[in-house]
Amino acid sequence: GAAAGGKKPKQGQKSPRVVTGYRFNDVGEHVDRIVQSLLPFSEPTRVTRFRSCVCYYDGEMELFEYAELDCDLYFSGSMRTFIPMSAAVNSMLASLKLALDLQFQKWLHAKVNDATGGGTYSEASIKLRDRVLKDAKVLPNDIIDVSSFMDACVDVDLMDRCGRELAGRFESAKPTKILTIATTGLVIAIPMAKYLQVPLVYARKQRSVVMADTFDANYNSKTIGEDQQLLVSQDHIDEDERVLIVDDFLSSGSSQKALLRIISEAGAEAVGVGVLLEKEYEAGRVSLSGFGVPVESVVRIASVKDGVIQLLEEDGYDKM
């Protein structure tokens, strides 16, 4: 990296601006020492430029990528050098993929995938994982309370990111409609419907005065500890529909199976099940395996033993 700025002229001297620079092959405390030595003799707003260069050489071909960062001297320091370095590395990765079809750390992504049982990593899954570890609570009967960001109080930005992520996974299935359960399933179903550009239908747990003929199915709710009935108006699902089931949790799979029965009763085709959080320690995925539909989750919970939430992704890293 190189730090550069205008040299302060002597008093009464009107010299042109002179640019000085310092070159380093590594990042360390010497960058901070130079900045500290310049501060007493410079204006705090003196422009300091950090410039990074990345080179690729395979014995025959050379590629160079550069990136720069300008900031006030007052805010300069060794940590700032990582910004242009990161930008230069990202530019190099894009150039190598375009020129040579090389993928950065492809082996590592494959190893992580194997270690975590095929887990998918994305910005959305990482943000949801962090929020679960930070704010979710384990209640009696191993019920996971996510009301602070997914239920009573909804983090709409996070739900939008997760909706876009899940929608991308099911785009190739070409769903024509999304089916969820009111009200908790709506937090993820609404953004997914937006990104897939398909209508959204939700199953009610109580009959509405506007509902005439309905498809209905029962399931056992662990949250409230009793059987529940799901009802969907027959006018909302047609025989030629390709229906994607979306929900907040996959636990025992009881509610998702009830929706699958409704889709079957309507003569439509189920194309998948997408959820935000999957309780891996319960039999939900196994119970849905007989329906022959793909199941996708953003974050998978491995255990809530002793009231501590442990994610499957965390378990996987010790196998690498």
Rg (CA), the chain: 28
Are 175 and 270 a contacting pair, CB within 8 Å?
no
pLDDT for res 108: 58
- The end-to-end CA distance of the chain, in Å, is 34
How many of the other CB atoms lie within 10 Å of CB of 129? 20
DSSP state of 141: G
Q: Which residues contact 109 (CB under 8 A, 6 or more apart)?
A: none
Task: Fill in the DSSP letter of residue 150.
Answer: B
Note every long-range contact of 109-113, with CB atoms under 8 Å and residues 24 or more positions apart, other chains counting.
111/320, 112/316, 112/317, 112/320
Residues 6 or more apart whose Cβ sits within 8 Å of residue 25: none
Q: Are the CB atoms for 127 and 150 separated by under 8 Å? A: no
Mean pLDDT of the chain: 85
Half-sphere exposure of 46 (CA within 13 A, CB side): 23
With a pLDDT cut of 90, the percent of the chain lying above it is: 51
Question: What's the count of helices (H) and strands (E) in the chain, helices before strands?
Answer: 9, 14
| Contact predicate 166/296, CB 8 Å | yes
- For residues 209 and 91, the model is more confident at 91
pTM: 0.63
How many whole angstroms separate alpha carbon 83 and alpha carbon 105?
21
Least confident span in 38-42, 174-178, 272-276 = 38-42
Determine the average pLDDT of the residues in 265-293. Answer: 95
The pLDDT value given to residue 142? 87
Which three-class secondary structure state does DSSP give residue 291? helix
**Whole-angstrom distance, CA of residue 269 vs CA of residue 180:** 15
Taking residue 317's Cβ as centre, other Cβ atoms within 10 Å add up to: 10
Arithmetic mean of pLDDT, 231-249: 96
- For 162-181, letters b (16+ CB in 10 Å) and e give bbbbbbebbeebebbbbbbb
- DSSP state for residue 60 in the 8-state scheme: S
Q: State yes or no: pLDDT of 2 exceeds 60.
A: no
What pLDDT sits at residue 41? 85
CA distance 295 to 283: 13
Cβ-based burial of 299 (10 A; exposed 0-12, middle 13-18, buried ≥19): buried
In this predicted structure, the answer to whether residue 301 has a pLDDT above a threshold of 60 is yes
Residue 193 burial (CB count, 10 A) = 22
- Whether the per-residue pLDDT at 260 is higher than 90: the answer is yes
For residue 120, say if its preceding peptide bond is cis, omega within 30 degrees of 0: no
Contact present, 202 and 182 (Cβ < 8 Å): yes
More confident: 109 or 188:
188
